[in-house]
């Protein structure tokens, strides 16, 4: 891993997670060496202090009052650290802003018995040392490997726990089934109190996830009802401050009852529990850990049934393929996927996997990804497409290449030729433009 200073608290968002995002990419003929597995973290002695209040109606009291007035300041070192992991400048700023827009996030993590099935997909890296500008550094190739559904979700949650720590974004994780007293609490949190505790909170969260094993039912309804009571208690403050709550449901199955029995009754109870959230300032993300058609169809159809803001996500590679169907010019890299998993909301992110962006939306998307100040001066693409392309190409060349899950190699964030082919009007002028640019380079 590239040598650099870590943010205060000495924890890394990538430590003990499924993948390290490094923007520098290897050539295919460069020698590689495997990375060793991270050691299991020790159980933090005071982890029981992270358990949520047993009374659901008073759960919101766990949050430090300082979070009601706004997210705590993100240190410059932490912003730099995200950039080093491949997050473009605009996306970093958007994540920080998003942390202020949401009072907190709560994850419902499915650790039921069906998570033992082996049709999951895990992102891993292979590391090699290389010389870059007279400095020795490490670079990576990313590969998607088969695993259990639980291993896929464990890597996801571990990463999100670290990201919550970096952003100081209050986040609670709820396992559907208790992992066992020897392992830790069924509910644990990151960044819900003082900054000094964040490092240990992240370690505790990862330790529980690393040691927990799937077993039990997929009874999600009671957790949704509990979250609803918590939000109900906070509703006056949420409305006064104009802030929201993100709810992330990470699951692989249709809802069941407490005995693990699926069916119309269990499904209807779950739908009604979600419907009870209508009218509250919430954003719901369903992170699926399965490709089973009945499960995928059920959650995709929920959006039509409910008056809720909701997004359904596949795993990284699956979601990248969905985005590629509509926006073939975009490299749907890991920073984009991780941002959506954590509950980051923007209407353009929500439609990437639904339809092609319009010309007007392209400029807004690039501003979101790379920074508004960098794109603000670019010509209007509907009026001066050649000038717009020239500005964007110069901007893209300043960004490091990053792993492309569809092409299975490192590429630029944007394929300029595909972008031009899809959106151009005057092909002759653009052909001459790209010819000049290619000749100069």
pLDDT digits (tens, 9 = 90+) for 294-315: 999 999 999 888 989 999 999 9
Supply 350's token pair. 């929500």
For residue 90, which of 401, 395, 405, 423 has the smallest C-alpha distance?
Answer: 395
**Percentage of the chain surpassing pLDDT 70?**
76
Q: Map tokens 């009852």 to a residue.
A: 257
Q: At what angle do helices 149-167 and 334-341 cross, to 10 degrees?
A: 80
Q: Can you list the domains of the chain with their CATH numbers?
A: 47-313 (3.40.50)
pLDDT higher at 119 or 24: 119
User: What is the distance between the alpha carbons of residues 284 and 219, in angstroms, rounded to a whole number?
Assistant: 18
| Half-sphere exposure of residue 424: CA atoms within 13 angstroms, side-chain side | 20
Supply 116's token pair. 């033992």
Task: Give the contacts of 258 (CB within 8 A, at least 6 positions apart).
Answer: 217, 219, 222
pLDDT in tens, 389-436: 999 999 999 999 999 999 999 999 999 999 999 998 644 333 444 444
pLDDT in tens, 229-266: 999 999 999 999 999 999 999 999 999 988 889 999 99
Q: What is the mean pLDDT of the chain?
A: 81
- Residue 377 gets which letter from DSSP? T
Here the contacts of 52-59 (C-beta below 8 Å, separation 24 or greater) are 52/172, 52/187, 52/189, 56/226, 56/229, 56/230, 57/229, 57/230, 57/233, 58/233, 59/226, 59/229, 59/230, 59/233
Query: What is the pLDDT confidence band of residue 73, given thresholds at 50, 70 and 90?
Result: low
Please tell me the predicted confidence (pLDDT) of residue 45: 28
List, as one string, the DSSP characters of 211-244: H----S----HHHHHHHHHHHHHHHHHHHHHT-E
pLDDT in tens, 6-42: 444 434 444 434 444 444 454 443 333 332 333 332 3
């Amino acid at each position: 891993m590239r040598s650099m200073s870590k943010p205060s608290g000495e924890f890394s968002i990538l430590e003990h997670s499924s993948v390290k995002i490094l923007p520098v990419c290897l050539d295919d003929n460069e020698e590689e060496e495997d990375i060793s597995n991270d050691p299991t973290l020790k159980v933090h002695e005071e982890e029981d202090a992270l358990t949520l209040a047993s009374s659901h109606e008073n759960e919101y009291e766990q949050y430090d009052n300082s979070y009601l007035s706004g997210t705590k300041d993100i240190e410059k070192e932490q912003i730099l650290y995200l950039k080093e992991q491949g997050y473009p400048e605009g996306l970093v700023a958007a994540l920080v802003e998003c942390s202020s827009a949401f009072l907190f996030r709560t994850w419902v993590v499915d650790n039921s018995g069906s998570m033992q099935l082996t049709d999951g997909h895990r992102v891993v890296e292979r590391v090699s040392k290389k010389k870059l500008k007279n400095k020795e550094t490490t670079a990576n190739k990313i590969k998607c490997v088969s695993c259990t559904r639980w291993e896929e979700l464990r890597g996801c949650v571990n990463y999100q726990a670290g990201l919550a720590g970096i952003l100081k974004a209050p986040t609670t994780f709820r396992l559907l089934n208790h992992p066992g007293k020897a392992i830790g609490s069924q509910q644990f949190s990151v960044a819900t109190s003082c900054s000094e505790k964040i490092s240990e909170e992240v370690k505790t969260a990862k330790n529980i996830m690393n040691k927990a094993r799937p077993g039990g039912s997929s009874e999600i309804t009671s957790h949704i009802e509990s979250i609803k009571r918590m939000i109900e208690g906070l509703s006056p403050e949420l409305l006064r401050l104009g802030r929201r709550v993100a709810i992330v449901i990470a699951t692989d199955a249709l809802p069941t009852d407490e005995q693990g029995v699926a069916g119309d009754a269990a499904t209807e109870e779950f739908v009604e529990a979600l419907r009870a959230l209508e009218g509250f300032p919430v954003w719901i993300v369903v992170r699926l850990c399965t490709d089973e058609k009945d499960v995928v169809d059920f959650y995709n159809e929920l959006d039509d049934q409910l008056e809720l803001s909701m997004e359904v996500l596949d795993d990284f590679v699956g979601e990248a393929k969905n985005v590629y169907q509509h926006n073939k010019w975009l490299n749907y890299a890991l920073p984009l996927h991780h941002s959506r998993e954590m509950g980051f909301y923007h209407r353009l992110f929500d439609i990437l996997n639904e339809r092609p962006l319009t010309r007007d939306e392209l400029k807004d998307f690039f501003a979101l990804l790379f920074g508004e100040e960098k794109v603000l001066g670019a010509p209007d693409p509907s009026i001066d497409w050649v000038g717009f392309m020239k500005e964007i190409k110069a901007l893209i060349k300043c960004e490091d290449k990053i792993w492309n899950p569809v092409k299975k190699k490192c590429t630029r964030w944007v394929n300029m030729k595909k972008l031009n082919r899809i959106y151009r009007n005057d092909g002759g002028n653009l052909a001459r433009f790209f010819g000049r640019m290619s000749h100069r380079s």
